[in-house]
């Protein structure tokens, strides 16, 4: 998968993640300002961490290539979910000093959701680029 595909996947993932989070957490009056802030934060993270980890995740998945396509898919979900947890643990420990709390657990779930969103949108972007011949 090319860098262009990963970059487009990161941008689309940031947009979808921010819209879902803004709709689910904030009221309609706070939607646009919160969407803007979420987009700034998540775009940076998806481009740096998402693209970077997708290289590592795809390397691991290529090392354990299975003949059954469904098994590749399940292993991919596990690899990307673990990557989302590890990326969040790294950012939480480097950014905050307070240790584990209820907020930490919620942020870990968001990390898993973001990583799996990236994983699934990667397939959508790959299929779209293959169809368009890009």
pLDDT value of residue 94: 75
Residues whose CB falls within 8 Å of the CB of residue 100, separated by 6 or more in sequence, listed in order: none
Q: Which of 5-14, 61-70, 108-117 has the lowest mean pLDDT?
A: 61-70
pLDDT value of residue 126: 92
The SS3 assignment for 101 reads coil
Query: Using an 8 Å Cβ cutoff, are 18 and 35 in contact?
Result: yes
Model confidence pLDDT, tens digit, residues 42-71: 999 999 999 999 999 999 988 887 788 889
Q: What percent of the chain has pLDDT over 90?
A: 51
pLDDT value of residue 25: 81
């Amino acid at each position: 998968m090319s860098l262009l595909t990963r970059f487009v996947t990161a941008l689309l993932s940031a947009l979808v993640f921010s819209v879902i989070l803004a709709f689910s957490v904030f009221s309609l009056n706070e939607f646009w300002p919160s969407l803007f802030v979420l987009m700034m934060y998540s775009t940076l993270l998806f481009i740096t961490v998402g693209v970077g980890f997708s290289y590592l995740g795809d390397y691991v998945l290529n090392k354990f290539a299975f003949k059954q396509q469904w098994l590749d898919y399940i292993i991919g979900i596990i690899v990307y979910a673990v990557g989302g947890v590890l990326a969040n643990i790294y950012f939480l420990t480097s950014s905050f000093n307070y240790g584990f709390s209820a907020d930490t657990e919620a942020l870990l779930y968001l990390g898993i959701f973001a990583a799996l969103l990236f994983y699934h949108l990667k397939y959508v972007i790959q299929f779209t680029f293959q169809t368009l011949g890009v």
